[in-house]
Each structure stands twice: as C-alpha cells, then as structure tokens.
Structure 1
Amino acid sequence: MHRLFALFIALSASFLANAPAQAEVHVLTSIKPLQLIAAAVQDGVGSPEVLLPPGASPHNYALRPSDVRRVRDSDLLYWIGPDMESFLPRVLKNRTLPTVDVQSLPGMRLRHFAADSASHEEEDPDEHDHDHRPGSLDAHLWLSSFNARVIAAKMAADLSAADPANAARYSSNAQAFNTRLDALDTRIKARVAGISGKPYFVFHEAFDYFEDAYGLKHAGVFSVAAEVRPGARHVAAMRERLTEMGKTCVFSEPPLRPRLAETLTAGLPAKLAELDALGSDTPINAQGYELLLSTLGDDLVGCLESL
C-alpha cells in the first residue's frame, strides 16, 4: 500500500498541477461512504462534504441547481463512476477541477454480477437506469475494505499535492486508516464466523463485496437492482425458497422496506431486518467508515442469531 501511495503521489502531482494550494481543500464526494473515507484522510485538517442527502438513491438522484454549483466549485470531487451515479456524467462534462471516478483507480478489486444472480426475464427496462445485468460491474465497491484502502491512498495523494503543508498529516491519516482496517477485518471475521453457514436473503444485490471479504453468501436475492420490480415467476420462486429454508432473515435497505417483503414472508418463520450499505446514520468522523462495516456485520449477525 505504501507503493500504491507513492504511485498516486506521482500521478496526483501532475493531476493537480494547476490547482491552487490552500490550507483546507474543499472535498466533495458523491455518496456518504466516500465521504467517510475522505473524513479519515482529512482528519484534523478539513471536513469533506457529500452531494447526496440521506435516503437519496445514488442510481437516479435528481440534481438541484445548488448541487450543480457544488459539483462545479469543489476543489476535489470523488464519485464511484458511471456504473453507480448515472446522473453525474452529464454535469461533470462542465467541470474543470480534478475529478476521480474511483472504479477506475489502479489496484481496485472489482466484482461483476454473476449470470445466476437473479431472474431478469420480467424486468421493466424503464424501472432503472443502471446496469445490473450478468457480467456488468458491481459498483458497490466501497463495501470492500481493500478498495477503501486504495481510495484513501488516492485521496491522501491528491490532498498532499493540493495542500503540501499538510501532506504529512494526510499520509499518516491514511496509514492509520489502513492499520485500523486491518484490525477491523479481524474483528468482523470473528464476529460472523458463527453464522457463516446460516441462510439469509437480500432484496438488493448490494453486499457481494462485503460477503466475499468475510466468507458470507446470501441464499437468494429478490431483485439485483433496488429500483427493479421482480417478475411474478421470480417472486413465486423466492417464496418457495423461503418456505424451504424455514427460519431465516430477509434483509432490505433503508429508508424504505419494499411492500413485497410482507407478502413474501407472510405466514413464514422469516424475520425482516435491514442492512444499510450507505451508512445513512453513521457519524462523519475518522472512524465512520469502520463503523459502517462493523454495523453491517452486527446487523447481519444479530438477526441470524435471534432466530
């Protein structure tokens, strides 16, 4: 990771050659998980902002005029990429300051949706504007602590180039972040060890990065995309799977529980619960990203242990 940081330093020096040096760099991220990573890197120096308000979908957010101004004026802007925030590319065409789509960073470990991830035969193409088809990129990449390290290294390099006076602080913050994530990975693996064989279901295929990192796997998914209504055959198949499984957990994502949840689980010993991939209620501080991941683990384990 030190070599990765050195690589990003070299690239960022050129990337930010025309950016004015200043005491506090105005960082804007598209979604909260990236803001939490930036908060760890900027700790003690600055406070990153986020574009999407709580509860907003990163797939189809409608930008307000004030949002467009923030996108235009921020010193550094970080977003996942066109596979996640499909509303941003058009606005970014008019941006002249440094912009980073983290899905394109060197060293990222990316996943793609599997051919058997869910039924697609009855999806309405007008129901969503992002690609969850088999083989397409799974853009929920922030749920991998490995990827978070890569993103933090890039942020530290960019901030160091834009604000050399605080370069040492950004570098040490990124190193401390890596150390804390090493310890966090160990804690989460120990936390989920007891439930790794228990079946559970998710409404949105958003957690594969987290599951892959900690040896977990959902037994079924009702819809690969949060905005896609699963077809009747898929609903019937999932109801049958739930019946076969007996006691299990079915996880949706806040802020809304799909109306289908009660229909699918009615009369079955399945428990409804939530997993928040965006960390909507997570405080914004240097440890916020770690809390996002640890809360996912706790919520997953808590439901399955309660059965």
Structure 2
Amino acid sequence: MKRLLLCFLALLLVFLSGCASEHQAAPEPATQDKLSVVVSFYAMEELAREIGGDAITIHTVIPSGEEPHDFQPKASDLSALSQADVFIINGCDLEEWAPKAIATAHNPKLRVVTASDGADIHYIEMKQVLPGQKEEKAADPHVWLSLKNAKVEARNMRDAFVAADPAHAAYYNERYARFTGKADSLLAEYTRKFAAAQRHTFVTGHAAFSYMASDFNLTQLSLSNVFAAGEPSIHHLKNLADECRRDGLTTVFMEAGESPRIPNTLAREIGARVEVIETLEEGDGTETYLETMQKNLEKLYQSMI
C-alpha cells in the first residue's frame, strides 16, 4: 500500500510540475546565444534592456555627459559596430554621426533601428528658437520622454530583436508585453493625478519635456529652447518669471548635469525651489527606464498640488 501511495505521489508531482511549466516565463537564452546590440546613448540602452533583458549584450556609444549631436565614435565603438547584430539610434537627427559610423563599420549583417520611426514627432520652427535661421522645421529629438512614444520605440526594438534572433522571439515578446503593460499603468495613474491637480504648468531649464507634457495635457515653460542653444535674455527671464508667478509655480526643474546658475536665478526671483528631473540622456543603470519616468512624473505632480 505504501508503495502504491508513493507512486501516486510521484506521478502527481510530475503532473503538477508540467502544469506549472506551461505558465512560466519564456526561458532566458544561454550566455553564448546573446544578441550583440549597440545603442547610441543611455535612454536607448535602458529601453533596449527593458525588451532584451538577459538575452542581449549592450555596448553604449555615447558616455554619460557627452553631447549626442557632435559626438565622434571611438575606435572601440566602430569595432563593436563591426561585430554587432543590431544598432539602435533614436533618430530625429540626434545622432548625426551615425551614418558615417555605420558605413565605416562594414557590417553587412547589422540591423539598424531608428527607434523613433512611427512615433508622434513634434516639429519646431527653427527661426523661433535660433534667430537668423531659415524658415524650416526641426524635430524635437526627446521622443523617449513620452511613455506613449516609448512604447513605439520599444516595439521597434522588439521587432529588430525578433528578426535577428527568432529562436528567442517568445522571450522578447513577453518582455515587450510586460513593459507596455507597466507603461500603460503609469499613463493611467498619472492621467488621473494630473487631471485632479491644482496646476497644469511646470518650468524647466531646458525645453526637453514637451513630449511628456503632451502625454498629460500639461504646459511646459523653459529657460532655454529645445536645443539648449545660448543663455536666456534678460527680457525672456523677466517674462518667464511673470508667467511662473501668474501660474503659482513653486518649483524650477533642471536636468542632471545642467548648470544650476540660471535655474537658481529664476527660483530666487519667484520664490521657488530647484529640483532635478531626468532626461535619461545619462545615467548609471541603477534605475530602469520606467522607474526613472515614475520619479519624474511624481516630482511634476507634487509641484502642481
């Protein structure tokens, strides 16, 4: 009788183990199977990590604190590109050095992903931000600072990973579904919060947050334009201070790495505090993309209640 009972229990364990395995996450690839991914800068790294997880290795071209526009890749970056499976750039003319780097790498298997393809792009009249410019428009490159657009950028990365590594398509699809679910939850949470807030305007040092503002029907004021070109004039500073007082703003936001001198000047003028908000152009990897975005949104919300 004991023997029969033990056999029954053993069969039951095998059955339950098989059922549980049906609901487990897709297995992570072995180390030797990892996809080689090169990204242009930190925001692309974090989004790629959200989708690729442990299935990819990442080489980031632009170090934290470097300007993406004028950056020149090093020999080690070109070497990484020559061996990579996927190269991810944001686009919107942010990485002007990328076409030459791709040509120099001579890598016929390289899949190039312009992450912002298909996103809702904001265009700026250049003569409004840079006096003397021709009547032309330029794209605001800060696409990744919209949760809605980040889902588009993540989808483009997912599609490239699946195409380059179809054996692990289930893994990439699962991580993409998890990412978009969390992004949608954040969108829903802060849509409710901002709708109930006392104010709907915020002020920043650099006009990098128009995409974030659009997600939640907020208004961004700023000391410098979207390209952070030049210092604000006395006239602009005075008008901005008047707008901040009119809207009752109590916080001036500045990005990490930005000089605090002018944000502090505005803050003193309107009796506000200065607080750092992240553009994800640089970082140390201690927080995920979604964790950083949640912190940004909570800081904005707290400044409006």
- TM-score in same-fold range (> 0.5): yes
Q: Give the direction of change, closer, same or farther, for the CA distance of 1:269–1:113 in structure 2 (3 Å limit).
A: same
Q: Which one-letter code corresponds to 1:81 in the other structure?
A: G
1:10 maps to none
Structure 2 residue ranges without an equivalent (≥5): 1-31
Structure 1 residue ranges without an equivalent (≥5): 1-21, 126-130
1:66 alignment partner, SS class = helix
Contact 2:40 2:90 (8 Å CA) reproduced: yes
Q: Give the direction of change, closer, same or farther, for the CA distance of 1:143–1:108 in structure 2 (3 Å limit).
A: same
Q: Which one-letter code corresponds to 1:193 in the other structure?
A: A
2:120 maps to 109
TM-score (structure 2 length as normaliser): 0.76
Q: Give the direction of change, closer, same or farther, for the CA distance of 1:212–1:82 in structure 2 (3 Å limit).
A: closer
In 1, Cα distance between equivalents of 2:79 and 2:73: 10
Q: Give the direction of change, closer, same or farther, for the CA distance of 1:199–1:93 in structure 2 (3 Å limit).
A: same
2:35 alignment partner, SS class = coil
1:199 maps to 201
In 1, Cα distance between equivalents of 2:49 and 2:89: 15
Which of residues 67, 70, 74 is equivalent to 1:57? 67
1:93 alignment partner, SS class = helix
Q: Which one-letter code corresponds to 1:291 in the other structure?
A: E
1:113 alignment partner, SS class = strand
Residue 230 (structure 1) shift: 2.9
Q: Residue by residue, what CA displacement relative to the aligned partner does 1:234-265 show, whole Å, maximum 9, x if unpaired?
A: 33433443455554322111112342223333
**Structure 2 residue 225 is the aligned partner of structure 1 residue 223:** yes
In 1, Cα distance between equivalents of 2:70 and 2:269: 34
CA RMSD of aligned residues (A): 2.9
1:84 maps to 94
In 1, Cα distance between equivalents of 2:78 and 2:141: 23
Which of residues 64, 69, 83 is equivalent to 2:79? 69
1:195 alignment partner, SS class = coil
Contact 1:246 1:270 (8 Å CA) reproduced: no
Q: Give the direction of change, closer, same or farther, for the CA distance of 1:280–1:298 in structure 2 (3 Å limit).
A: farther
Which of residues 156, 160, 163 is equivalent to 2:162? 160
2:56 alignment partner, SS class = coil
In 1, Cα distance between equivalents of 2:79 and 2:217: 42
Q: Give the direction of change, closer, same or farther, for the CA distance of 1:92–1:47 in structure 2 (3 Å limit).
A: closer
In 2, Cα distance between equivalents of 1:145 and 1:268: 31
**Structure 2 residue 21 is the aligned partner of structure 1 residue 27:** no
TM-score (structure 1 length as normaliser): 0.76
1:142 maps to 144
Q: Give the direction of change, closer, same or farther, for the CA distance of 1:227–1:267 in structure 2 (3 Å limit).
A: closer
Rg comparison, structure with higher value: 2
In 1, Cα distance between equivalents of 2:70 and 2:198: 33
Q: Which one-letter code corresponds to 2:35 in the other structure?
A: V
Residue 24 (structure 1) shift: 1.0
Q: Give the direction of change, closer, same or farther, for the CA distance of 1:208–1:282 in structure 2 (3 Å limit).
A: farther
Which of residues 248, 253, 264 is equivalent to 1:251? 253
1:241 maps to 243
Q: Give the direction of change, closer, same or farther, for the CA distance of 1:196–1:219 in structure 2 (3 Å limit).
A: farther
**Structure 2 residue 100 is the aligned partner of structure 1 residue 100:** no
Q: Which one-letter code corresponds to 1:274 in the other structure?
A: V
Q: Give the direction of change, closer, same or farther, for the CA distance of 1:108–1:245 in structure 2 (3 Å limit).
A: closer
Residue 108 (structure 1) shift: 2.1
Runs of 4+ in 1 over 6 A off after TM superposition: none
Contact 1:200 1:248 (8 Å CA) reproduced: no
Q: Residue by residue, what CA displacement relative to the aligned partner does 1:254-307 show, whole Å, maximum 9, x if unpaired?
A: 11234222333334312222211116446368xx221122121012223444xx
In 2, Cα distance between equivalents of 1:31 and 1:149: 18
1:16 maps to none
The structure where helix makes up a greater share of residues is 2
In 2, Cα distance between equivalents of 1:149 and 1:246: 33
Contact 1:79 1:100 (8 Å CA) reproduced: yes
Which of residues 258, 274, 280 is equivalent to 2:276? 274
2:104 alignment partner, SS class = coil
Residue 53 (structure 1) shift: 1.9
2:252 alignment partner, SS class = strand
Q: Give the direction of change, closer, same or farther, for the CA distance of 1:137–1:218 in structure 2 (3 Å limit).
A: same
Q: Which one-letter code corresponds to 2:197 in the other structure?
A: I
